Structure 1
Amino acid sequence: MGGQQITMHVEELIEQAKHVRNSIDTMNYWYEKKPRGNASPTIAAAQAALSHSVAITRLIWPNPPSRDRDGNKLTGEPLDRHRWIIDRGKMMRRIVGPVDEQTWILGNRRLRNAYEHFDEYLDNFLFDIDRGKRPNVIVDTGVLPRGAIRIDGEIPTYLRLLDPELWELSLIDEKVSLPQLVKEVLTVDERAREWLRLERLKPPE
């Protein structure tokens, strides 16, 4: 992988970090304007921040398929492409590191899956309700403290909830602290910008 190629990936990371910041600003705007009356745009902006954070996650921890559509192991150029992507991910982690996939929200694959495969999470959730494994107490969207509403004495499960006391975004059972997520995004953004600055100081080859 050449320097220009990795530079483009670093620039894309910086661009996605900018979108995260803009999305958080938009979320705050709608929340301050009218908290409960504007639940939908507030949640939408929070989810946009999560979406751009997931894009950063893909840049740092790519997960290309190791088999083709027929389930066969990759060979030839597809295998070369797979290895190239894995190597690119390692280079990105060296640039923005140290990062911990186990403790960082950006490294939380369950959260990434919950966002990218929300339909599957919703299917599993509703299936469990249908089979009596979970209470049928559901609220679609809310911007309020988690325990603010009780239905038949139960705190409902929210498909989407933004708790403004904790600034915690929930997608069914998966929760993310937005302040911690933004802190991580700003950290990798700062490291990426510093790498880019030093890279541009190098004399042309």
Structure 2
Amino acid sequence: MEQHHAELYALEVQRQYSFASIAYQSLRSELLNRGPDWQLRAFAAAQAILTSAAQTSKLFWPFPPDSDQSDRVKRAIARGEYLQEIIGPDPVLMSRNVRNSVEHYDDRLDAFFSKDTTSGLYESLIGSKASKYAHGKVVWLRHLDPETMVYSFLGKEVHLEKLVVAMREASAAANRWIDGPSLTALLQEEAARVAQLDE
């Protein structure tokens, strides 16, 4: 992959973290302040985090292993592997739960209704699943536990804070790669090599 192209992908890793960070701050604020429409705003922020995490995931893992092997797919997989090598993302970003909660929303809902006719499906809850609202066989379309920051969609869970931390670390690694080693570091490495030769 050409250096310029790789830099653009690395910059996108940084940008997606910026989006997620803004959304996470908004989410924490809504959970704390509970102003007008706070639950709606909190879920909007959570969805924004998931969207950025899904976009980041696609940069590193664009296709599942069993995808067709067209030239386009091969190029994308090679790009993802190269970015993994230079940035070293946390595997938490690889979770298909993250991407499926955003990309396959309708499919998962259809599948739920086609297979499960005994559970009660409720729209949204912010609170503990052990709360008074979680009686009987209940499935939440979307649920957020503010204590653990675990978000679930039809029972599939992701930890929002861990996602944001993983994106922050990937962003920092991307920044280090873009900036490259400093001149001081290069001079120190060269001096160390010369010292070893003189011994």
- For residues 131-150 of structure 1, the aligned pairs below 5 Å read 134-135=118-119, 137-150=120-133
8 Å Cα contact 1:36-1:144 kept in structure 2: no
Residue aligned with 1:147, SS: coil
Residue aligned with 2:110, SS: helix
1:82 to 73, 98, 113: 73
Identity %: 25
Instruction: Give the structure-2-normalised TM-score.
Output: 0.82
For 1:117, the equivalent position in structure 2 comes to: 104
For 1:40, the equivalent position in structure 2 comes to: 40
Q: Which amino acid aligns with 1:60?
A: F
Identify which of structures 1 and 2 has the higher relative contact order when contacts are C-alpha pairs closer than 8 Å and 6+ apart: 2
Deviation of the 1:84 alpha carbon? 1.9
Structure 1: 5+ residue stretches without partners: 68-72
Q: Which amino acid aligns with 2:81?
A: K
8 Å Cα contact 1:146-1:163 kept in structure 2: yes
Q: Does 2:145 match 1:154? A: no
CA distance in 2, matches of 1:142, 1:35: 16
Deviation of the 1:13 alpha carbon? 0.7
Higher helix content, 1 or 2: 2
- For residues 50-61 of structure 1, the aligned pairs below 5 Å read 50-61=50-61
For 1:193, the equivalent position in structure 2 comes to: 175
CA distance in 2, matches of 1:141, 1:194: 40
Q: Which whole-Å deviations, capped at 9, do the CAs of 1:126-163 have from their partners, x for residues lacking one?
A: 22233xxx42x222011111111346x41621111110
> What is the root-mean-square deviation of aligned Cα atoms in Å?
2.3
1:178 to 152, 160, 166: 160
Which structure would you say has the larger Rg?
2
CA distance in 2, matches of 1:20, 1:93: 20
CA distance in 2, matches of 1:170, 1:35: 23
Q: Which whole-Å deviations, capped at 9, do the CAs of 1:82-116 have from their partners, x for residues lacking one?
A: 3222211111001111x46xxx3211123322321
Sort the Cα spacing of 1:53 and 1:111 in 2 relative to 1 into closer, same or farther, 3 A: closer
CA distance in 2, matches of 1:142, 1:150: 8
Sort the Cα spacing of 1:49 and 1:111 in 2 relative to 1 into closer, same or farther, 3 A: closer
Deviation of the 1:37 alpha carbon? 5.2
CA distance in 1, matches of 2:111, 2:35: 30
1:168 to 147, 150, 153: 150
8 Å Cα contact 2:142-2:152 kept in structure 1: yes
How many residues are matched? 182
